[in-house]
Amino acid sequence: MRVAQAVFGVFHHFELARELERRGHLDRVYSTWPWSRLQREGLPRDKVKTFPWLHLPQIALQRSPFDLPVLDDHLGYANALTFDRWTDRQFKRNLRGGELSPDVLIAISGAGLLTGRHLQERGGIFVCDRGSTHQRYQENIVTEEYRRWGVERQVSDERDTVREEAIYAQADAITVPSSMAARSFVEMGVPAAKVHTIPYGVRLENFHPVGEPPPGEFRVLFAGAVGLRKGIPYLLQAFSELSHPHKRLLIAGQMQEDLRSVLPQCPQEKVEFLGAVPQTRLVELMSTSHALVLPSIEEGLALVQAQALACGCPVICSTNTGGEDLFSDSVEGFIVPIRDSGAIAARLQQLADDPLLQAKMRVATLARVQAIGGWTQYGDRWERLLRDLLASSRSGRAAASDKMHDL
């Protein structure tokens, strides 16, 4: 089995690539980041091909002090199209050089439409790997959130959404990291049999308790991108309703542009915005907090939840974070509806008022992480899925051939 991958940057695809390489399945991985960044990923140079010419300018724009979403959209769309054409040319060049065509292309969502179609024409399998909910579902729910807060901002480029939906239709299979993400595809009309849930592996060797929450204080933590998609206004409202003489909310992460105009409307007493923090600091914050709260409106699978559990920190998350695939409600934390500051406040109050519950949940979190799979298990699940897809494809082609022969 020969497997090629196409990914914008790195994401989790290089974790998968290492697992495929270890099993002898990796053909090549194609990325939009330069080799100078990718060489740290530990793959042989001849297995990594790069096309960074449009992605790097886009990253530079995103890191600049200028908020230019329209230009960002244009660069992103151009990058997706050009990267796909380039990857397709690489496949064809390899064939002309006498190499076998890959059996499978795993392309991160937004990539691989042309390349995947051409591989299918040669008898291969095309898998779209989506790290979040269905693109249209995501766009709808975040747009709705913007309207709720009076933010006039486009969630995504409609061209990207149309292209994503074409990829979903073209792909032989779609993989997602959580049950929540899988449900979004079914809700948007994609056949359930086409969608496969493979939760991400988690590296927890660097996440472990390095302290305990301070006695006499009730410390709440948020970690992630600080924006409307993450439900920050609901967290701020819930925290303001929490009754505790020495409460404290720490928000770790980069401030997003969509929140800046909304933030003045939100209560912020005893709230500290820490900005982006290094991993060592994050471990300390998780270990010394009574709860991590993640009230996201939408995402695929937020791994900060598993990291918090590994540090002995109970998690309060919304139903739209993938938390249900990581822990059990009322055991290692609580799962609440989206946009429900009252439910968040009630769970925070329950924890704040019950030190025995705090201790019980901290013990449960550390036990739970032992059952959370790593990247080896992630690779195992992928290997089983790809073998099943290839076997089904070969069976279908054989049946079609027999039918033609009968005619």
Share of the chain above pLDDT 90, in %: 83
Q: Is the pLDDT of residue 25 over 90?
A: yes
Q: Is the pLDDT of residue 378 over 70?
A: yes
Top-confidence residue, 370 or 171: 171
pLDDT score, position 69: 79
pLDDT score, position 398: 55
pLDDT score, position 202: 86
Going by C-beta distance under 8 Å and a sequence separation of 6 or more, which residues neighbour residue 58? 72, 75, 76, 79
d(CA 301, CA 326): 9
d(CA 15, CA 26): 12
pLDDT score, position 258: 94
- SS3 per residue for 363-380: HHHHHHHHHCCCHHHHHH
Number of Cβ within a 10 Å radius of residue 134 = 27
pLDDT score, position 269: 97
pLDDT score, position 249: 98
pLDDT score, position 397: 62
**Domains of the chain with CATH codes:** 3-201+375-406 (3.40.50.2000), 218-371 (3.40.50.2000)
Q: pTM of the entire structure?
A: 0.92
Query: pLDDT by residue (tens digit) across 382-405?
Result: 999 999 999 998 876 655 555 555
pLDDT score, position 204: 87
Query: pLDDT by residue (tens digit) across 206-252?
Result: 899 999 999 889 999 999 999 999 999 999 999 999 999 999 999 99
pLDDT score, position 54: 86
Query: pLDDT by residue (tens digit) across 251-276?
Result: 999 999 999 999 999 999 999 999 99
pLDDT score, position 73: 83
pLDDT score, position 403: 57
Top-confidence residue, 285 or 79: 285
pLDDT score, position 400: 53
How far is residue 7 from each of residues 58, 112, 116, 209, measured CA to CA in Å? 15, 9, 13, 34
Q: What is the mean pLDDT of the chain?
A: 93
pLDDT score, position 72: 80
Q: Is the pLDDT of residue 280 over 90?
A: yes
Paired residues of 255 in beta bridges = 226
Mean pLDDT of 22-30: 97
Closest CA relative to residue 184, chosen from 162, 158, 165: 165
Q: Is the pLDDT of residue 407 over 60?
A: no
Contact 292, 305 (CB under 8 A): yes
